[in-house]
Structure 1
């Protein structure tokens, strides 16, 4: 149960951190006119491809983290419901 919480937080933070890092690199690569600066065409294509893949990985991490947190909340509610029904039966 607690593992869902820990995994959810780790994946959510990792996904958000990856998105932040990619967007920050893109921001600092821009010139005063707003154009992105690359040393060559090949590096432009390669870096943009890696950034797109990285963003999809970040989205997957965020979604998986949110799903893990949702599973944790459902498990917690089920456990509380089970404890409440057990205390009512004992009375």
Structure 2
């Protein structure tokens, strides 16, 4: 039960951290006019592709983290309801 909570928090933090890091890099790569600056076309393609892939990985981590937290909450409710049934049999 607690493993779902720990895994959920870790994956959620990793996903949000990855998104923040990618967006921060993109922000600091911009010139005062708002255009992104690259030293070559190849570097531009590689960086943009890797950032796109990184964002998809971050989304997957966030979704997995949220699902793990949801599983944890469902397990907690199930244990609470079964404990109540044991204490108050009808």
TM-score range, shorter chain: over 0.9
- In the superposition, the TM-score normalised over structure 1's length comes to 0.97
- State the match for 1:71 in structure 2: 71
* Counterparts of 1:58 and 1:39, CA distance in 2: 27
Aligned to 2:27: 27
1:81 shift after superposition: 0.2
Root mean square deviation, CA, Å: 0.9
TM-score, normalised with respect to structure 2: 0.98
Aligned partners of 1:29 and 1:39: how far apart in 2? 11
Runs of 4+ residues over 6 Å off in structure 1: none
Unaligned runs of 5+ in 1: none
Alpha-carbon distance in 1 for matches of 2:55, 2:12: 13
Matched residues, number: 90
Instruction: State the partner residue of 2:61.
Output: 61
